[in-house]
Amino acid sequence: MKDIFIFTLLLLVVAPSFSQNNCTITGKIMDKSGPVEFATIELYSSADTLKIVKGNLSDTLGRFVLSELAQGSYIIEVRRLGYQPLKTKAQIPKQKKEIDVGIITIETDSYLLAGVTVTSQKALIKKTTEGFVINAKDNITQAGGTATDILKNTPTVVVDAEGTITLRGKSPLIMVNGRNSNFSNPNLIPASSIESIEIINNATSKYDANAESGIINIILKKSSSSGTNGAFSVGFGEGAKGRLSSSAQLNHKSKKLNFGISYDNRFAGRTRNINGNRTNFFITDAYYLDQYRSDSREERLQNLRINLDFSPDDKNTISLEAIGGLESQDNLEDLNTLLLKKGNIFNSNTDRYSAEYQKEKLAEFVLNYERNFTDKRKSLTAVISTSLSNDKENTDITSQSKAENNTFLGDPVLERTHNFEKGNITIAKMDYGFQMSENFRIETGYKGTFRSIVADYENALKLNNNYVINTDVSNIFNFNEYVNALYVLFANNSESATWSYNFGLRAENVSNDGHTENSSTQFTNQYLKLFPNGSLTYNLSETNNIKLSYGKRINRPGLGQLNPFTDVTDALNPHSGNPNLKPEIIHAIELGYGKEWSNAIFSSNAFFRHSLNTIRSYYQLQPNGVNLSLPVNIGSASTYGLENIFNYKSGTKYNLVATVSLFQQKINGENVDQSAVQNAFGWNSQLINNLTAFKNGKIQVLASYNSALTTPQGKRLEQYFMDFGYQHKFGEGNARVGLTLIDVFNTLRSGYVNSTTEFTNSRSVKADTRALMLTFAWTFKSAFKEKLLDNKFSKEY
């Protein structure tokens, strides 16, 4: 740890001593008729195609200048309303201060009639060196939903009917604007507030190592357009219950200030039915269990977000962001449990009714700093954020026995529980980069993540008109975790070279501790681990490459997995955490091939992932017929397969995104149970069709299939669904009406089947996933240079 810190410190001190550069790129934008004025020119480094290095507008003669640049490889992107976007490469060689890329010719992407605007099809997916980016705005089938709904329609991501998210069969690290947050629960983020979603498959050392299957980074909307602009949207829907959502954004940007405020809400009702059964082979008096559960849920969500960017000069930018959220749920549930002895002999029948009321308050405060050096080879960013949560859940439970003929017996048993949780996540992060030569770049940085959570669970039974606390299952659990990380990354970022690479090392020092107030459980963990990673790319041509990558990852158990409390909401199927869990170590290897054509992109990735101390849910059948579920380290697991993505665009009318993933899963849990050994094949596929059938009208049809996934004791069931959406633009494209039908054939469901030497059990969940949504959105923008044009083109925000 000490050596890594000294090495990183030396990099920060030595790197600035290199000589400075002040290079310039010039050129001219033209179409078939002549120069194109007011075209947007954006310059990206070939090493980072997501971050804009410089930007400018073309003048009346189509000329543009991009100055104060370092030597190296760049990508120039030209955009103009009504024209097809165009990308071209530029190289500033050594010993040269200025290059002229000459004439860049762009082609129109719409035809104009008097007062009529025809807009083009935008790409839903953008391929990056680390994965791909989803344009959330173009996912029209999920208008009025949440981030979870958008992820359900994201290639390679699987979301089941209960909202569980997996990437390549495992839980990904979910971030918001590149940071860990209490807002990272996708159910708390309305779709209307999302700009894009980044999928990072095999991350570099810049990112947290706690991302075994990859990273999902949700980017929230933030306008960068000059002047005043805003947007408003409202949606109405009907499933088994009504749904309502709305959002409003307002932004003003001047030369030094960029201020934005946004508000969104979502009110929705849901219903769900669950069927479960279990056969206990060696328990005669509790041989067969049959359960039916139905619940009705009302959800309310509100978020307020304020952001302020201040640039006192060209070299410094300070950004402040504050987010507040209120979330509440009312859940009414009825659970019927029938227990039979062997031979179908009646044992017991119980009806349990619960009324659960949950309220959560969330707040997050973020301070960002970005330094633009005169020497453009250098970059420096820093961020400090703190995220607070306060969740309170109260439940009233009424249980009553029933006779074999379903008549109630005796008096009901009354019970109360509360589950209060307070959490805090604070992050301090700094990243520094230096372009040491034309093709070689080094990056280094520090990240500290400090987390504390207090969970208060209480269970009380009503006896003699008083509620008496059950101390056996009630307690307060305190958990603290501190992660200090340093990283260094070396990259050859020249796209013109035949070979390119990046190699990095991340060191994470982890310290966590947990204890209960009654001292029944206490643990402390402290460890330092190194996480090497790297990639090697062979560029067969400018549009054809092969990439080999390796990364070491870790899956650290969280509070929910470590908390020793047992949730006895369902007395025969309780679940608890496991304070004895060890972190899971993952080794991931990928071999990818990418090919680009003028109207299509294809990528194929063969991947292999092997994990030790694999953390999986495991069922332990007790002698009294209770089946306890808890996470355990089952030994090892391996997954290997092939992931394919094909993106095709036919002119301005049609776009297709098709993904197919094939994989083999092997689980070896012999350390827990000799029978916990599984080996199964799985696959998933998704088709997204976008069609501009006629002017201003867009149709989207999505179909998805996910095969069954193996677990240590069985499998999770397959799931499949289809969504349909239509969007129509009015005026100059600043007003839109959308109609979506989610889960058209009402097929989306989830569940599992387990089979062991002691028992078999199954569970099937069907929520009211089919819903019809009607949305309206309107955007506005103050007069800007586009208004100077004779022809008006639509612009999307």
Q: Measured over all CA atoms, what is the biggest interatomic distance in the chain, rounded to whole angstroms?
A: 93
Which residues in 464-543 belong to E strands, given as ranges?
A: 466-469, 475-492, 499-516, 522-541
Whole-number Å distance between alpha carbons of 762 and 764: 7
For the ranges 283-292, 558-567, 704-713, the lowest mean pLDDT is seen at: 558-567
CB 321 within 8 A of CB 384: no
Nearest to 755 by CA among 718, 711, 708, 709: 711
Q: How far apart are CA 171 and CA 54, in angstroms?
A: 36
> Would you state the pLDDT for residue 10?
39
Mean pLDDT confidence for 766-794: 64
Residues near 332 by Cβ (< 8 Å), separated by ≥ 6? Answer: 295, 296, 297, 353, 354, 355, 356
- One DSSP character per residue, 72-107 reads EEEEEEEE-TTB--EEEEEEE-TT--EEEEEEEE--
> Is the Cβ–Cβ distance between 618 and 634 less than 8 Å?
yes
For the chain, give the number of residues: 797
Q: What angle do CA 251, 304, 427 make, to 5 degrees?
A: 100
Cα torsion at 137, 138, 140, 146 (round to 10°)? -40
8 Å CB contact between 711 and 667: yes
Averaged pLDDT for residues 578-583:
92
- Fold of domain 227-788: Maltoporin; Chain A (2.40.170)
Mean pLDDT value across residues 353-365: 97
26-42 per-position pLDDT tens digit: 999 988 777 887 788 98
Residue 727 has pLDDT above 70, yes or no: yes
Which of 346-360, 508-522, 645-659, 676-690 has the highest mean predicted lDDT (pLDDT)? 346-360
pLDDT mean over 573-581: 91
Q: Is 602 exposed, middle or buried (0-12, 13-18, 19+ CB in 10 A)?
A: middle
Residue 45, pLDDT above cutoff 90: no
**CA torsion sign, 626 to 632 to 636 to 639?**
positive
Whether residue 732 is predicted with pLDDT greater than 50 in this model: the reply is yes
* pLDDT-derived band at 487, boundaries 50, 70, 90: very high
Report how far apart, in Å, the C-alpha atoms of 695 and of each of 88, 126, 648, 692, 741 are.
Answer: 30, 24, 21, 7, 22
Average of pLDDT values for 712-741?
89
Q: Tell the burial category of 60 from Cβ atoms under 10 Å away from its Cβ (0-12, 13-18, 19+).
A: exposed
Say which DSSP state 770 is in.
-
Residue with tokens 């355990």: 632
The pLDDT tens digits of the residues spanning 297-336 come to 999 999 999 999 999 988 899 999 999 999 999 999 999 9
Find out whether 774 and 245 touch, Cβ atoms under 8 Å: no
pTM of the predicted protein model: 0.81
Residue 132 φ/ψ region, left for φ over 0, alpha for ψ in the -120 to 50 degree band, beta for the rest: beta
- Contact of 11 with 442, CB cutoff 8 Å: yes
Cβ neighbourhood burial of 315 (10 Å; 0-12, 13-18, 19+): exposed
Residue 612 scores a pLDDT above 70: yes
Question: Tens of pLDDT along 108-141?
Answer: 764 333 333 334 444 567 777 777 888 877 777 6
Q: How far apart are CA 462 and CA 465, in angstroms?
A: 6
Identify the pLDDT of residue 170.
78
Pairing label, strands 771-781, 759-767: unpaired
| Residue 20 scores a pLDDT above 60 | no
Given the DSSP bridges, would you call strands 98-105 and 23-31 parallel, antiparallel or unpaired? Answer: parallel
Q: What does the block give as tokens for 184?
A: 């990272």
Q: Where are the domains of the chain?
A: 227-788
pLDDT in the model for residue 5: 42
Query: What average pLDDT does the segment 330-346 reach?
Result: 96
One-letter amino acid at 531 equals: F
pLDDT in tens, 496-543: 678 889 999 999 999 999 999 887 889 999 999 999 999 999 988 878
For residue 290, what are the contacts with CB-CB under 8 A and spacing of at least 6?
276, 277, 337, 338, 340
Is pLDDT at 293 greater than 70 in this prediction? yes
Q: Position of tokens 């039915």?
A: 273
Nearest to 522 by CA among 577, 479, 473, 552: 479
- C-alpha 95/C-alpha 391 separation (Å) is 60
% of the chain exceeding 90 in pLDDT: 54
Q: How far is the first Cα of the chain from the last one, in angstroms, to the nearest whole number? A: 46
Rounded distance, CA 518 to CA 514, Å? 12
The pLDDT value given to residue 795: 26
Cα–Cα dist 621/623, whole Å = 7
547-564 burial, b if ≥16 CB within 10 A, otherwise e? bebbbbbbbbbbbebbbb
Give tens-digit pLDDT for 387-403: 999 999 999 999 999 99
pLDDT of residue 389: 96
Average pLDDT over residues 42-52: 77
